[in-house]
Structure 1
Amino acid sequence: MLFCPTDGSLLMVESGPQGWTRFCCQTCPYIHPMEPSDKITRKIALKKKAVDDIMGGDDAWANVDKTQTTCPFCNNKEAFFLMVQLRSADEPMTCFYKCTNCKQRWKE
């Protein structure tokens, strides 16, 4: 692995149509050409970390009530709602909605 001397970012491998290969920085214009003797032995795709659903997944929406509101995504007139206290006790509760038609979520 090589790092950019300008900003410390990881240098990425870039290949051109004429067969050239070089290292380049994604945040600045720094380029480091590769020598013909340099070889790339393997390419590893980075896996993204799995993110937990903060609303508890589908189980949190199992026993919630419906209300009359307009979905901003499909203009359906009915949605499930769930109220959660996210901030301190002196702040109002946050209301989360889930459309009964398109299943999109939003908050107010």
Structure 2
Amino acid sequence: MKFCPKCEIRLKKTDSGLKCTKCNYVEGGNIESTKQILEEQEVSEFNVLEENEGSETLPTIKIDCEKCGHDEAVWWMLQTRSADEPTTQFYRCSKCNHTWRNYA
């Protein structure tokens, strides 16, 4: 049994070696591939809906667009952080399709 040198939690076996579930320390594996996978997940998280997907069915709200100043946007909510954190609100401008988020 091995422990993480950073946070002293027991390391779990994975395909790439041993990994800490708290700080993502990897022993005996390729650190770059793990970092790349995490970066890809962060980028895809923001692009949940395609540019025009759901525009007809999503609710609208009167809010100023940060990019073009238009005053109407569609909105939706997702749980992007842990369950004890509030949901993240996403907005997409009805005019220019600029998307931004509010962590409420």
Q: TM-score, normalised by structure 1?
A: 0.47
TM-score by length of 2: 0.48
Between structures 1 and 2, the one with greater helix share: 2
